[in-house]
């Protein structure tokens, strides 16, 4: 290694200083040196401004002007006016330029105030209130462009949200920028001092873009206001209210859409019942809270993703009170679909209050809704109310409901009554399936009248004539269907066997389920499970408050049955008030009422004093008739609703009726009577429905897995997708051959209500002559005609 002599490195102190200055000067760019415009002295450009202030005592405005000129000459003025493209080194310079040049048309032709403001505040709260007011007054939204911190103080630079460059961060969704210009004169320099005070300097005048409140950001106060509205109102109501409150369209609130409200819900975690991102886990956490007001009595997690094994029983304290108070009169149990995003069912145990209004007594959410699931519901009911003993249970023809009840209460004398509406639907479907088209309407009408018949002798005659007619017309399949599935269990569905009961259909359950879907879910079935449970709990409280308000205000239409009873009274006054000859007293507490054509006669009977509550009941508000002590043989009779014939008698009867003991209705029996709660055909149908629901649940899991695999760019994902397709193709080959000329509908559109109708443009058309509707022939008259014809033929022979 070459070594240099020591003396070669020795230099004098003066030479070292000169060498350092020479080295420093060589590294310093000539652009960083500048002459003082007053004395001509050469110095660093950054020192020129302090030199002007200290040495020459130049005023601040003149220093600012000189600084702008130096920046433009040096090429460091990066803030450009969007109207005339003049350059400035700071936003303050741009604002002063706009005030002198563009004051009248800077913001799309709207005059602006470009004055530089300077404010100081004692604390951050005062600053934020001031900033909110100024932003609202000037149609401004700001974003943080830079934050600089020095010890306990910090400096914040805020710029107009309509300025700058847009940088897209997402990759999935298309987006549109709200930024119209690169630079805008609207800006704020905010300094947060160590003592808590705040100093602000800037400008609220805009340049280069129009002032549009629709493109502003929501302020913190606006977000809180929207959050408050969402806690009490629906989205549709909120949007309508905001647009009415701001008819001038001057704030961002007028332009709120549902997506903004969804963002507020996510920001403040306002989703009902939310405790975890996974809704099943969220519901489990709520169940573990063991809050008695929630009423979640039992929960079992699903055993697989299809939902099999899921059981949730909800009985709030208010629902338990209703069960204890009203269940002895009778209960209704029915289920419904499509309340959540999963293939789950909701079953509701309903009771009726003094006005026969339906009240929920218990909820059951299940993935399968089998007898075992229903049994769990009644196990919880029994643990809370050991004296549970309803007189009647009304369900549809699904055997799981009554079987689950009997598994828990095997000794109770509760009578099963099948819903008349569901039976009518079943018969109508079967008639359309097996009966010839020319006879369908007549058979359906005869079966409907059979379901309404409340007299045993007439019921027997009607049923016999229907079966005879079907045999005569070679409709043996329908006749055998009725004999095999319904003849042996007549007391479980016939109206005469349900005399005096408060329920003959499950309409109180259907009506409550409809209310849940329309008023609370707004027909949106894509609902989280925890959110749906929250809605159910809130629905009970809402229903209770609604009933209390209606009763307190003494509404005439406080209950559906009361409303229908009053309608029938008005009809009776129209028809019978001026026709006393149509109402004839035939015995003590018995009358004969004819129709206006005097072709039909109906027996009306008063059975004794009314057991209803004196102040809260379903009595007619005009004549006081009660549907439970006045009976009529007409086919218009419905549980809890007085027909017009009873009103006609009450209108023409004396003011006082002799009190008699109320007759206890007895259930007549027919021979042969087979004790069964479900027909074999219904049991087989129920089993098929369970299998079909299991297939749908499994298919939902398969589709979710396939969707996840589709997003993976791996060979393993491709192999899994091929295996899934192979198994699905094997499953598609099972069953009856599908017509080759027909395309299979997508699963989500194959469901009821899944196929939306296209909007139609109304056109003015010529008036068309309506085709007169042919009256439906009476099956029983046809049977009598056939009988007479057969007798005449025998006499002739």
Q: What is the CATH number of the domain that holds 90?
A: 3.30.160
Based on the domain organization, do 331 and 384 belong to the same domain? yes
Would residue 604 count as lying in a domain? yes
**Of the listed ranges 71-75, 159-163, 609-613, 633-637, the one predicted with least confidence:** 71-75
- Percent of the chain scored above 70 by pLDDT? 84
The model carries a pTM of 0.68
Would residue 194 count as lying in a domain? yes
The domain of 479 spans 421-498
**Is the pLDDT assigned to residue 86 strictly greater than 70?**
yes
CA distance linking residue 487 with residue 316, whole number of Å: 41
Q: What are 511-520's pLDDT values in tens digits?
A: 999 999 988 8
What pLDDT is attached to residue 68? 67
Would residue 462 count as lying in a domain? yes
What pLDDT is attached to residue 661? 39
Q: What are 321-342's pLDDT values in tens digits?
A: 999 999 999 999 999 988 888 8
CB 605 within 8 A of CB 630: yes
Residue 52: C-alpha distances to residues 38, 47, 55, 96, 722 (Å): 8, 9, 6, 21, 80
Q: What are 361-377's pLDDT values in tens digits?
A: 999 999 889 999 999 99
Would residue 494 count as lying in a domain? yes
Among 209, 243, 267, where does a domain finish?
Answer: 267
Based on the domain organization, do 305 and 408 belong to the same domain? yes
CA distance linking residue 646 with residue 626, whole number of Å: 9
Among 597, 626, 652, where does a domain finish?
Answer: 652
Would residue 431 count as lying in a domain? yes
Would residue 229 count as lying in a domain? yes
Based on the domain organization, do 347 and 415 belong to the same domain? yes
**Is the pLDDT assigned to residue 583 strictly greater than 70?**
yes
* Average pLDDT taken over every residue of the chain: 83
Long-range contacts of range 135-139, CB-CB < 8 Å, 24 or more positions apart?
135/219, 136/219, 136/251, 138/186, 138/204, 138/205, 138/206, 138/211, 139/206, 139/211, 139/212, 139/213, 139/216, 139/250
Based on the domain organization, do 459 and 580 belong to the same domain? no
Q: Which residue has the higher pLDDT, 540 or 654?
A: 540
Which burial class, exposed, middle or buried, applies to 542 when counting CB atoms under 10 A from its CB (0-12, 13-18, 19+)?
A: middle
Based on the domain organization, do 241 and 137 belong to the same domain? yes
What pLDDT is attached to residue 231? 82
CA distance linking residue 105 with residue 112, whole number of Å: 8
Sign of the dihedral defined by the CA atoms of residues 371, 376, 377, 382, in that order: positive
**Of the listed ranges 160-169, 198-207, 409-418, 682-691, the one predicted with least confidence:** 682-691
User: How many structural domains are present in the chain?
Assistant: 5
Based on the domain organization, do 465 and 437 belong to the same domain? yes
Most confident listed range (68-77, 285-294, 603-612, 768-777): 285-294
Q: What are 48-70's pLDDT values in tens digits?
A: 778 887 888 887 767 777 776 76
CB 690 within 8 A of CB 368: yes
CA distance linking residue 59 with residue 791, whole number of Å: 128
Based on the domain organization, do 592 and 623 belong to the same domain? yes
> Residue 664, Cβ neighbours under 10 Å: how many?
8
Q: Which residue has the higher pLDDT, 20 or 360?
A: 360
CA distance linking residue 118 with residue 225, whole number of Å: 30
Based on the domain organization, do 524 and 410 belong to the same domain? yes
**Is the pLDDT assigned to residue 664 strictly greater than 60?**
no
Among 549, 567, 583, where does a domain finish?
Answer: 549
**Is the pLDDT assigned to residue 22 strictly greater than 80?**
no
CATH of the domain at 522: 3.30.420.10
CA distance linking residue 581 with residue 652, whole number of Å: 10
Would residue 110 count as lying in a domain? no
Q: What are 116-138's pLDDT values in tens digits?
A: 999 999 999 999 999 999 999 99
Based on the domain organization, do 301 and 408 belong to the same domain? yes
**Of the listed ranges 178-192, 219-233, 263-277, 472-486, the one predicted with least confidence:** 263-277
Q: For the residues 199-206, what does the mean pLDDT come to? A: 95
**Is the pLDDT assigned to residue 758 strictly greater than 60?**
no
**Is the pLDDT assigned to residue 748 strictly greater than 90?**
no
Based on the domain organization, do 325 and 409 belong to the same domain? yes
Residue 737: C-alpha distances to residues 389, 728, 733, 740, 742 (Å): 50, 16, 8, 9, 11
> Residue 631, Cβ neighbours under 10 Å: how many?
21
Based on the domain organization, do 379 and 515 belong to the same domain? yes
Based on the domain organization, do 256 and 289 belong to the same domain? no
């Amino acid at each position: 290694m070459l070594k240099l002599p020591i003396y070669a490195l020795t230099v004098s102190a003066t030479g070292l200083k000169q060498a350092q200055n020479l080295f420093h000067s060589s590294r310093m760019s000539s652009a960083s040196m500048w002459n003082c415009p007053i004395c001509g002295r050469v110095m660093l450009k950054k020192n020129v401004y302090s030199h002007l202030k200290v040495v020459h005592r130049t005023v601040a405005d003149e220093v600012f002007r000189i600084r702008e000129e130096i920046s433009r000459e040096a090429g460091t003025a990066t803030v450009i006016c969007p109207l005339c493209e003049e350059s400035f080194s700071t936003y303050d310079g741009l604002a002063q330029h706009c005030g002198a040049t563009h004051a009248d048309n800077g913001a799309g032709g709207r005059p602006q105030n470009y004055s530089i403001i300077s404010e100081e505040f004692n604390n951050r709260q005062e600053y934020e209130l001031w900033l909110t007011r100024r932003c609202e007054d000037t149609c401004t939204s700001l974003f943080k462009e830079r934050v600089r911190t020095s010890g306990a103080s910090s400096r914040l630079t805020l710029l107009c949200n309509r300025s700058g460059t847009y940088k897209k961060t997402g990759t999935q969704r298309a987006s549109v920028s709200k930024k119209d210009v690169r630079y805008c004169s609207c800006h704020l320099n905010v300094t947060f001092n160590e003592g808590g005070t705040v100093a602000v300097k800037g400008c609220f005048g805009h340049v280069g873009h129009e002032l549009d409140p629709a493109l502003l950001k929501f302020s913190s106060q606006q977000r809180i206001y929207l959050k408050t509205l969402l806690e009490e109102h629906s989205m549709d109501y909120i949007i309508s209210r905001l647009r009415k409150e701001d008819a001038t369209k001057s704030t961002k609130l007028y332009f709120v859409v549902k997506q903004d409200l969804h963002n507020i819900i996510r920001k403040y975690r306002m989703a009902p019942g939310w405790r975890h991102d996974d809704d099943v886990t969220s519901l489990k956490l709520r169940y573990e809270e063991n809050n008695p007001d929630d009423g979640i009595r039992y929960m079992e997690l699903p055993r697989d993703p299809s939902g099999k094994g899921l059981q949730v029983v909800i009985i709030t304290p208010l629902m338990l009170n209703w069960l204890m108070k009203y269940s002895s009169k009778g209960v209704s149990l029915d289920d419904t679909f499509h309340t959540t995003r999963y293939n789950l069912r909701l079953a509701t145990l309903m009771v009726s209050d003094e006005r026969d209004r339906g009240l929920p007594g218990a909820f059951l959410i299940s993935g399968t809704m089998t007898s075992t699931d229903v049994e769990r519901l009644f196990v919880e009911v029994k643990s809370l109310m050991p004296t549970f003993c309803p007189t009647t249970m009304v369900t549809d023809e699904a055997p799981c409901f009554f079987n689950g009840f009997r598994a828990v209460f095997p000794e109770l004398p509760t009578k099963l009554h099948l819903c008349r509406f569901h039976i009518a639907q079943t018969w109508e479907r079967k008639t359309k399936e097996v009966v010839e088209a020319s006879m369908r309407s007549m058979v359906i009408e005869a079966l409907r009248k059979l379901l309404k018949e409340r007299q045993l002798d007439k019921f027997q005659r009607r049923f016999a004539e229907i079966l005879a007619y079907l045999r005569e017309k070679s409709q043996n399949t329908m006749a055998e269907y009725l004999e095999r599935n319904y003849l042996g269990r007549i007391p479980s569905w016939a109206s005469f066997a349900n005399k005096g009961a408060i329920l003959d259909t499950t309409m109180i359950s259907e009506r409550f389920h409809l209310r849940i879907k329309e008023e609370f879910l707004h027909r949106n079935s894509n609902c989280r499970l925890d959110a749906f449970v929250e809605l159910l709990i809130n629905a009970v409280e809402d229903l209770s408050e609604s009933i209390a308000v209606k009763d307190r205000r003494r509404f005439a239409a406080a209950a559906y049955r009361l409303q229908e009873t009053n309608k029938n009274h008005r009809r009776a006054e129209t028809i019978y008030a001026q026709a006393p000859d149509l109402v004839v007293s035939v015995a003590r507490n018995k009358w004969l009422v004819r129709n206006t054509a005097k072709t039909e006669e109906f027996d009306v009977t008063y059975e004794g004093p009314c057991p209803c509550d004196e102040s809260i009941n379903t009595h007619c508000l005009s004549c006081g008739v009660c549907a439970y002590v006045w009976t009529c043989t007409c086919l218009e009779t419905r549980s809890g609703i007085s027909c017009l014939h009873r009103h006609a008698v009450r209108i023409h009867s004396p003011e006082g009726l002799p009190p008699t003991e109320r007759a206890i209705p007895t259930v007549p029996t027919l021979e042969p009577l087979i004790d069964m709660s479900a027909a074999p055909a219904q049991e087989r149908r129920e089993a098929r429905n369970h299998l079909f629901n299991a297939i749908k649940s499994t298919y939902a899991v398969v589709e979710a897995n396939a969707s996840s695999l589709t997003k993976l760019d791996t060979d393993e994902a491709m192999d899994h997708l091929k295996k899934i397709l192979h198994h699905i193709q094997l499953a598609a080959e099972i069953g009856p051959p599908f017509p080759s000329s027909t395309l299979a509908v997508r699963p989500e559109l194959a469901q009821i209500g899944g196929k939306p109708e296209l909007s139609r443009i109304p056109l003015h058309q010529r008036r068309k002559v309506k085709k007169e509707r042919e009256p439906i022939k009476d099956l029983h008259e046809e049977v009598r005609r056939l009988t007479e014809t057969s007798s005449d033929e025998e006499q002739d022979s």
